[in-house]
Amino acid sequence: MKSVLRLLVALPGVLFVVIGLRWLVDPSTAAAQFGMPLLDGLGRSSQIGDLSSFFLTLGMLILIALITAQRVWYYPAIMLLSFTVLGRLLAWLIHDATLAIEMIAVELIVTCLLLFASRTLTERE
């Protein structure tokens, strides 16, 4: 059971790292994957820098949590995903953005998976 859970947790961790690397090496494809244009000038710098760091950090936090079996490493990843969901919902409610149901669903599923893993795959403190 724990081996399966580790694999299920590792998959999004690796996927997030790959997405972050894609923002660094092929930002136009990465932007299109998220339904956004690749911006120009300072906006492009912010878009690539912010999104690559978000996904690289998120993925690395998950992988570090798995490797160290320390619960504390799961919490920042859970917070990043939870705040992303909150931001998407507020963008829809307040700023006339499209409701990104599929993205929100994935983020909530991974958040729940990480919460479960933080209780199951870590050393008791």
pLDDT at 1 (0 to 100): 85
Does the predicted TM-score (pTM) go above 0.85? yes
* Domain annotation covers residue 58: yes
Q: Shortest CA distance to 74 belongs to which of 25, 12, 18? A: 12
Whether residue 96 lies inside any domain: the answer is yes
Query: Tell me, what's the pLDDT at 71?
Result: 96
pLDDT at 94: 98
Half-sphere exposure of 39 (CA within 13 A, CB side): 12
Q: Is residue 64 part of a domain?
A: yes
The pLDDT of residue 123 is 77
Q: Examine residue 125 and state whether it is found in any structural domain, yes or no.
A: no
Residue range(s) defining the domain that contains residue 109: 2-120
Number of domains forming the structure of the chain: 1
Residues of the chain with pLDDT under 70: 124-125
Q: What is the pLDDT of residue 51?
A: 98
Whether residue 99 lies inside any domain: the answer is: yes
- Does residue 14 belong to any structural domain of this protein? yes
Is residue 73 in a domain? yes
